[in-house]
Chains A and B, each alone.
Chain A
Amino acid sequence: MKQTFVLTVADYFVKIYSEENVPVFFEEGYTNFLQLEEVENYDATVVCHAGLPEISTYTGEVIFDAVLDKQRLWQVVQTEKQRAFIVFNPKNIEEIQQVAFLNDASTEWHVYSHVLKQNDDSFISPLSYPLGALILYYLTLNSNAFMIHASGVWDGETGRIFSGFSGVGKSTMAKIWEEEGAHIVNDDRLIVREVNGEYFMYNTPMPYADLNKQAQVSKFYFPFHAKKNSAEKLSGAQALSQLMAFCFQHNYDKKYTEHLITQLERITQDAGTYKLGVVPTPSIIDFIRSVEFKG
Chain B
Amino acid sequence: MNINEIAAAKSNFVARAVDEELVLVPLRNNVADMTEIFNLNEVGHFIWNEIQEGATVESLTEKIVSEYEVEAEVAQADLEEFLNDLSNFILND
Contact = CB atoms under 8 A, between A and B. Distances in A.
Contact of A261 (B21, B25, B30, B31): B25
Interface in A207-247: 236-238, 240-241, 244-246
Contact of A257 (B18, B22, B25): B25
B74 interface: no
B22 A237 contact: yes
Given A68-B32, A236-B18, A265-B16, A241 B27 contact: no
Contacts of B18: 236-237, 240, 265
Category for how many chain B residues contact A? 20 to 34
B23 A252 contact: no
A93 interface: no
Contact of A67 (B16, B30, B38): B30
Given A237-B21, A237-B23, A251 B28 contact: yes
Interface string A238-281: 10110011100111111001100100010000000000000000
A251 B37 CA distance: 12
| Overall SS of chain B's interface | strand
A261 B23 contact: yes
A64 interface: yes
| Overall SS of chain A's interface | mixed
A250 B23 CA distance: 17
Category for how many chain A residues contact B? 20 to 34
A65 interface: yes
Interface-central residue, A64, A240, A246, by most chain B CB under 10 Å: A240
Contacts of B76: none
Nearest to A251: B28
Task: Give the 5 A-B CB pairs with smallest separation, nearest first.
Answer: A237-B21, A237-B18, A66-B31, A257-B14, A241-B37
Interface of A: 62-68, 73, 236-238, 240-241, 244-246, 249-254, 257-258, 261, 265
Interface of B: 14, 16, 18-19, 21-23, 25-32, 34-35, 37-39
